[in-house]
A and B are shown apart, each in its own frame.
Chain A
Amino acid sequence: MDSTATRVPTLPGLAIWLPRLEAVAIPVAALIAGLAVFSLFLLALGNSPIEFFSLVFKAAFGTAFSWKNTLSRVAPLLFAGLCVALPARLGLVVIGGEGAIALGGLAAAVTGVWLASLPGVVGLPAMAFAAMAVGGLWIGLVGLLRIKRGVNETIASLLMAYIAIALMNHLVEGMFRDPASLNKPSTAPLADALRVGNMPIGIEVHWGFGVGTIACVLCWVLTDRTTIGFAARIAGDNVRAAQVQGLPVAKLIVGFTTLGGAMAGLAGFFEVAAIHGSANASLVVGYGYTGILVAFLARHNPLAIIPVAILLAGFEASSGLIQRRMDLPDATILVMQGIVFVMLLLSETLYGRIKFFRPELWEDPR
């Protein structure tokens, strides 16, 4: 648990900054350690780690195009991460974000077709709202089932994800299919006015990245700077204690799951409005499951989701160049991610154990 808030400030300044330094230094050290272990893997197979990492850097962050490649992959990871992190603040493990993404995307696309004649300023918010409503409803239902029927949220969300994907495919290939979408069944294409464009930042990255970042900040304010977030944390630690204190646990659960689902719905909205221009089976490519990893690596802190998602996107952006230049299989990046994430999660055992970061222990009274 996050113990920084309770630490006694014996040495003002240092006591505030050292824990924050710890929160950066440990993951960075773990990242380096993970890359070192992966280097051994590469060496053992006769590949050059130096070549590998210079290619990863080049492909992910080395040029303006690399940044475009990386950042354009971030948006769905941010939203999918929030879909896991928000309920997790209440101790709920929701792993079905994939379904809310699919249905959210479909809702956005169908609304967009329906509102085809409206200008973007009206149509786009309506599409986003539809996506959030459907996504929120889907995951909110998981929360509701938990409260009303005592249904475990982990399995319910996973089952409902499969059901949502089936529903999406059924509707895209049936009722909402555009007959002109021949080889790839899709909904009718969105009007140009209802497409989300790029942000004015010099590289072509659509607004999903900006909105996702803002959403993470807002969610952080909610979870870490409001009484609601505080109440959620208490309920997450101990439901009974929260109930004894009169906290509205049921409302919190429904609220946080709904909000998480709404975020996943937004991921679907941006996939449809910024990338595909219609809803189709390509909404289901595993972003929801990647979001689980993002949220856990960020320790369910909405702000930390941003750097984690960018790092993950950078790794994925480099996969192609690695395949082409080093003739390594595409799974190489998966192996690297696996090793790095194991090290990052393992490093959590170090928090509070390194004396340097704990000034209150410097003058050992022993």
Chain B
Amino acid sequence: MSEDLGLWAVPIAMLGGAIRVSTPFLFVSLGECLTERSGRINLGLEGTLVFGAMAGYAIAFETGSPWVGVLAAAIAGAVFGLFHGWICRFRGVNDIAMGIALMLLGIGLAFFFGKSYVQPIAPDLPAIPFGWWSDIPQVQAALQINALFVVGVVLAFAMAWFFKNAALGLRIRVVGDSTEAARAIGVNPDGIRLWSTAAGGALAGIGGAYLSLYYPGSWNEGISSGQGLMAVALVIFARWNPVMCLAAALLFGAAGAIGPALQTVGVTSGYYLFFAAPYVLTLALLILTSTPGKAQEGAPGELSITK
């Protein structure tokens, strides 16, 4: 059976937490990173995440396949993204505000249609035991890794490469930095933004499916505690860099495990403060890494939230 690890329990729990908890943050922030690089902001990904969680769970239950559920969540997320992308093309429409309205709509629709799926039990996504080399059960448990996490990590690096080297990636960046410049070189900014927003929505939907189909692995109205909104904010922290989004998501997941783990090693009071560790750490890093007068370093020029 499991052994007593003493204080080692905390770093191992953080490792496990980083892997377990980070995936929704990772997918949503990668999606938002893509969208924002094209010069559009979608604050509504929290709604997309929740709807994706519901849709993924419902479809997985109906079809018996969690992967079909993930696909359904991605499609649902893409539809939300397409809608946001389409509607923000109209002159005078504020994309920040529209995102918040769509967050409400997404959550509302998810709760509305999700009522009948709270009780049924849908099949979970399988985990890959990456901890086979260790004899310590805690390490084995921490390294039970879901395929979506692996996909997310690969995607972060792929997206970084894509923005730097791929023709389409460059076009997205041009559109994000200057609509006029994009038009001048014959790129259609509206089309690029539309599809970047749709793809961002699809990724957020997958993030939601991870919540309902893997960890914690059930659908209910409290499944998200604001991960979608936080992930959107983390993109700013990550300075619109996909690999930094991965780092931010891992940091967030790891820091989130500190609270419960400390209670098991005897640090039992002040748990509210330890639970706030992810926010405190992120804020501290943000303050340390920011430079006066350069609040928007790395921000796409057309982004409404940092203009």
Counting chain A residues whose Cβ lies within 8 A of the other chain, the interface size class is 35 or more
Asked whether B112 lies within 8 Å of A149 as measured between CB atoms, the reply is: no
Q: A162 in the interface, Cβ–Cβ < 8 Å?
A: yes
Q: Is the CB of B111 within 8 A of A155?
A: no
Query: Is B287 in the interface zone, CB < 8 Å from A?
Result: yes
Asked whether any CB of chain A lies closer than 8 Å to the CB of B8, the reply is no
Q: Which residues of A contact B307 (CB under 8 A)?
A: 91
Check if B97 is an interface residue, CB within 8 A of chain A.
yes
The CA-CA distance from A150 to B293 in the complex, in Å, is 5
User: Which chain A positions have C-beta within 8 A of B269?
Assistant: 174
CB distance from A1 to the nearest CB of B (A): 9
Closest to B292 in A: A150
Contact residues in B for A170 (Cβ distance below 8 Å):
270, 272-273
A243 vs B145: C-alpha distance when bound (angstroms): 52
Q: Determine if A155 and B96 form an interchain contact, defined as CB atoms under 8 angstroms apart.
A: no
Residue A163, interface by CB 8 Å? yes
CB interface residues, A 309-366, toward B, < 8 Å:
329-339, 341-342, 344-346, 348-351
Which residues between 72 and 101 of chain B lie within 8 Å of chain A, taking CB atoms?
A: 87, 90-94, 96-98, 100-101
Contact A156–B97 (Cβ < 8 Å):
no
Given A150-B294, A339-B105, A341-B101, also A166-B276 (CB < 8 A): yes
Contact with B97, one of A147, A297, A332, A339 (Cβ below 8 angstroms): A297
* Shortest Cβ distance from residue A326 to the other chain B in the assembled complex, whole angstroms: 13
Q: CB of A296 within 8 A of chain B?
A: yes
- A70 to B125, alpha carbons, bound, how many Å? 45
Interface string of A167-198 (1 = CB under 8 A from B): 10110011000000000000000000000000
- Chain A 27-41 near chain B by CB (<8 Å), digits 1 or 0: 000000000000000
Within the complex, the shortest CB–CB distance from B271 to chain A, in Å, comes to: 8
Is chain A's interface secondary structure helix, strand, loop, or mixed overall? helix
A214 CB to nearest B CB, Å: 26
Chain A contact residues, CB within 8 Å of chain B: 91, 93, 95, 145-152, 154-156, 158-160, 162-163, 166-167, 169-170, 173-174, 292-293, 296-297, 329-339, 341-342, 344-346, 348-351
Residue numbers of B with Cβ under 8 A of A are 87, 90-94, 96-98, 100-102, 104-112, 115, 229-230, 233-234, 236-237, 269-270, 272-273, 275-276, 279-280, 282-283, 286-287, 290-297, 305-307
* Other contacts beyond A150-B295, A154-B305, A167-B273: 13, CB < 8 A: A149-B290, A154-B233, A156-B286, A159-B286, A173-B272, A296-B96, A329-B115, A338-B106, A338-B108, A345-B93, A345-B98, A346-B98, A349-B93
The 6 closest A-B CB pairs, nearest first, are: A338-B105, A334-B108, A331-B111, A296-B97, A166-B276, A341-B101
28 A-B pairs, CB-CB below 8 angstroms? A93-B305, A152-B286, A152-B290, A152-B296, A152-B306, A154-B233, A155-B237, A155-B282, A158-B229, A159-B279, A160-B279, A162-B279, A163-B283, A169-B272, A170-B272, A170-B273, A296-B96, A329-B111, A331-B115, A334-B107, A334-B111, A338-B106, A338-B108, A342-B87, A344-B101, A345-B94, A348-B92, A350-B92
